[in-house]
Amino acid sequence: MTTPPCYYGTDCSLSNSVSNGQELLAGLGYTPSSLGPKIFVYELPPEFHVKRNIHKIDRPPLHLAILERLLTSGHRTANGDDADFFYLPISSRDLKRAFLLLPALHYIMEKWPYWNATAGARHVIAMEGDVGTCELPLRVRLLTANVTWLQFWGLYDYHPSWSHIFHNRIPCHVTGRDIVVPFMAMSSHDRFMIETPLRPGNKQRPRNITFFFAGGVCGSGRYNAVPPHCTYYKQQRYSGGVRQRVYELYSNRTGWRVVTRTDDYARDYASSRFCLAAPGGGWGKRGIVSAMYGCIPVMATDFLHEAFEPEMDWSRFGVRVPQRDIPRLGQLLESFTDQQVADMQRRTSCAAQHLHWSSSLGGIMKETGEFDAFATIMAILRTRIRAKQQ
């Protein structure tokens, strides 16, 4: 009688074999991905990655979603010597968790040779914070200067509205090193995304609204906090000043819906041609939500990459304008022909598949998931490996 393997590890996927050393899902038919990359996952003590109060989790834990998909997709390897990248499954959401990064990094430096051999290069860490790595203590940022960060925030250069988050003007996002990833659509005005007109069989509303934005304008919970009442300095720098300027110029424009609140986000997104992709205090979800409703995203924040940029150029399916040109936005959007809009909408529906974590959360556009957010991350890492090999 064959003795079944004993499984252990953070996700109970590891076991020991006399002939093969550590194995993944021994006896369960684990199949490594033929495309790569191969990613080694560090096993950490529970104090580094266990949340003691689940009620304090205010957004989907990106680091755990990545951990799960590395195994189910076949990208995980138990052999660090054979790995292309090394994944640290730890949350760095807030300052308290960020300070745990230092002892976690020292732990893997002592236990494995890979960090020291690469000076932290080819290491991947998820960052769920509002302003990405700019939330980290400076000493952590310096130690992780070669790490690839997966984060929602893509501010790649100095922006005067976010001067308070820059450490010695170090950018929050380093292009070519980090990856801006889409948030996981599971809250507020994205919870009705199953109603998207991109889902075959769903209701197709006439898109009779030229431009749509609904949300806080001055960064305050009070819905009457709108220009010219954004006088407090935090209100003025909120959203990099984009929401305030758009509201000031276009809240009364005919055919445009720019409001502080709406009773039906799904209806308004599905009824609009263009939708504002604006940040908030840090990263914003509206560009991703608008794309998943088939609404052409409009980007007007300087020095800010959207999800998967520059690898996925949002200007191919959306409209990008410098902040100084926001006063020209009305004329620009209303000048597009119906054919130009239809072409952008078609490209937007294609891009939307890359922005949803359908292999984790399920497809909402009846997509297969083979091009979803996780697959896109793997594709970007794969191209970086090939670029270094050339």
Report whether pLDDT(1) > 50: no
Residue 338 included in any domain: yes
pLDDT score of 138: 85
Tokens of 272: 């609009």
- pLDDT-based confidence at 137, cuts 50/70/90? confident
Residue 210 included in any domain: yes
Domain limits at 214?
188-368
- pLDDT-based confidence at 82, cuts 50/70/90? very high
Percentage of the chain lying above the pLDDT 90 cut: 61
Whether 133 and 238 share a structural domain: no
Whether 94 and 126 share a structural domain: yes
Whether 193 and 129 share a structural domain: no
Q: Determine the average pLDDT of the residues in 281-300.
A: 94
Residue 149 included in any domain: yes
In three-state secondary structure terms, 177 is coil
Residue 21 included in any domain: no
Count of CB atoms situated within 10 Å of the CB of 217 = 29
Residue 380 included in any domain: no
Question: What would the pLDDT profile of 52-65 be if each residue is shown by its tens digit?
Answer: 566 666 667 888 89
CA angle 60, 36, 123 (to 5 degrees): 60
Cα distances (Å, whole numbers) of residue 12 to 8, 16, 43, 83:
4, 12, 11, 20
Whether 162 and 194 share a structural domain: no
Is residue 274 within 8 Å of 296, Cβ to Cβ? yes
Whether 53 and 160 share a structural domain: yes
Across 92-101, 111-120, 167-176, 340-349, least confident range: 92-101
Residue 275 included in any domain: yes
| DSSP code of residue 4 | P
Domain count, the chain: 2
pLDDT score of 57: 64
Across 106-110, 131-135, 158-162, least confident range: 158-162
pTM for the whole structure: 0.93
Percentage of the chain lying above the pLDDT 70 cut: 88
Q: What is the mean pLDDT of the chain?
A: 89
Whether 277 and 221 share a structural domain: yes
Q: Determine the average pLDDT of the residues in 124-149.
A: 91
Tokens of 330: 């009305």
pLDDT score of 228: 75
Kind plus residue range of the DSSP H or E element containing 86:
strand 85-88
Whether 139 and 194 share a structural domain: no
Q: Determine the average pLDDT of the residues in 111-130.
A: 95
- pLDDT-based confidence at 186, cuts 50/70/90? low
Question: What would the pLDDT profile of 317-331 be if each residue is shown by its tens digit?
Answer: 999 999 999 999 999
